[in-house]
Amino acid sequence: MSRLGSDLSETFQDFLTGCAKTVMLLGALATFISVGLLVFTCFRVTGDAGSASQMADAVRNAEIFQKVLIAGVIGLATGSAYMFWGSEFLGAAQLVVAAGLYFAPLYLPGMLSGTNQASQSALGSLQVGGTILGIIGFCVLMIDIFFRVTQRVKTGVKLDQLKYGKGIKEEGDKQNILLGKCWQLPFCRKFVREKCPIYLSKRTCWKELVGCMCEESVIRGAMENKPIPKDALLAANFIPHNHKLTMAQKKERCYSCIIYNEHQRHKYKVSMPMTVIGFFAFYGLFHGMLIDAVGALLTKINHIVNGATMGATGNYTPPVMFVEVMLAFFMLIGLTYVMKMLEFAIFKAKI
């Protein structure tokens, strides 16, 4: 790209970041103010408060605050999604705030001296805000996990996290055997391999904690055409040992090596579909139990809300379809976090 092109693209990026920041801050402000006013409405016009006109005013105000809240949560959610895209906590933080708003009718009525049309309208508005933020947060979480999975399957770790083998290209005559040994992966260079004691002894460098990317003697041996027996047992005697580093330091070396991280990428490629299949198998096998649990949870929530609002919501049994949708929603959120944990285990904890 020309210098002018890259300057324009940077300026455009800065412009977008500035817009996103403004939208996020205005959204946060509108959310904060409207939530405050809705809570204030609940407390100000409680029980048998005031005249009918005061009540009607409060209901009308709650409707206006609801509109501000909707605009606020949309601005907050979209702005923060742009600003913090890629952060582990973005989707979770949005869902926590959404849950805080959605479940307001659960914990707020306990602090009121009574409820009425105005407070119910205000509580309903908080729930609407929570629902919208929850839907956006859920979509953000899904898109984020989709991009993470495709990027991890394609490239594993980012090149800038690698210390060993960063500039190495894949070999032309590459092998790429799933979960193979180091010499069955695409970064094993033919001219080193033919004189490499790890290859000739049919071992794996990350198990020996010594290899062509980290030990100079392995490369030097290949450059100097040092003879190594073809017999696997005899070749093992030629594997160099570095006594200057501790085991932990050698492992650390592997964690930032392109070869080891290719191996981790293979692990991810295998364990990711297995995790998804396992999750769906769990859903299918324990569907009845899960439906009962979600149904009981929803009934319990309704019971608490009904008690707190002195019977305003009435006792109701959630429709089967609604329970199914809630279960699917919980399962998808659960799956998303299991995938994040898997990514963490393989690419950060290097298990």
User: Residues binding ligand SF4: what is the number (CB under 6 A)?
Assistant: 22
- The CA distance from 75 to 80, in Å, is 8
Q: With respect to ligand SF4, which residue has the nearer C-beta, 145 or 182?
A: 182
**Interface with ligand SF4 includes 209 (CB under 6 A)?**
yes
The candidate with the shortest Cα–Cα distance to 267, out of 167, 156, 166, 129, is 156
List the structure tokens of 267: 């692990």
Instruction: Indicate the DSSP class of residue 108.
Output: S
Q: With respect to ligand SF4, which residue has the nearer C-beta, 86 or 227?
A: 227
Residue whose entry in the numeric block shows the structure tokens 């800065």: 14
List the structure tokens of 157: 């770790």
Shortest CB 152 distance to ligand SF4, Å: 19
Q: With respect to ligand SF4, which residue has the nearer C-beta, 44 or 193?
A: 193
**Interface with ligand SF4 includes 188 (CB under 6 A)?**
yes
Instruction: Using CB under 6 A, pick the residue from 65, 199, 238, 268 that binds ligand SF4.
Output: 199
24 in Cβ contact with 94 (< 8 Å): no
- The CA distance from 122 to 59, in Å, is 8
Instruction: Using CB under 6 A, pick the residue from 70, 136, 141, 257 that binds ligand SF4.
Output: 257
Residue whose entry in the numeric block shows the structure tokens 């898109």: 143
Shortest CB 214 distance to ligand SF4, Å: 3
Binding mask 144-183 for ligand SF4 (x = CB under 6 A): --------------------x-----------------xx
Give the three-state DSSP class for 336.
helix
Q: With respect to ligand SF4, which residue has the nearer C-beta, 259 or 323?
A: 259
Question: For residue 241, which phi and psi values (nearest 5 degrees)?
Answer: -125, 130
**Interface with ligand SF4 includes 347 (CB under 6 A)?**
no
Binding segment for ligand SF4 (CB under 6 A), chosen from 6-14, 87-95, 192-200, 302-310, is 192-200
Residue type (1 letter), 165: G
- The CA distance from 60 to 53, in Å, is 10
Q: With respect to ligand SF4, which residue has the nearer C-beta, 3 or 230?
A: 230
CA angle (322, 287, 325) in 5-degree steps = 20
**Interface with ligand SF4 includes 238 (CB under 6 A)?**
no
**Interface with ligand SF4 includes 235 (CB under 6 A)?**
no
**Interface with ligand SF4 includes 138 (CB under 6 A)?**
no
Instruction: Using CB under 6 A, pick the residue from 37, 198, 239, 346 that binds ligand SF4.
Output: 198
Instruction: Using CB under 6 A, pick the residue from 21, 44, 148, 193 that binds ligand SF4.
Output: 193
Q: With respect to ligand SF4, which residue has the nearer C-beta, 133 or 257?
A: 257
The candidate with the shortest Cα–Cα distance to 162, out of 245, 247, 259, 244, is 259
CA angle (288, 293, 296) in 5-degree steps = 120
- The CA distance from 285 to 30, in Å, is 45
Residues that bind ligand SF4 (CB under 6 A): 164, 182-183, 188, 192-193, 196, 198-199, 205-206, 209-214, 253-254, 257, 259-260
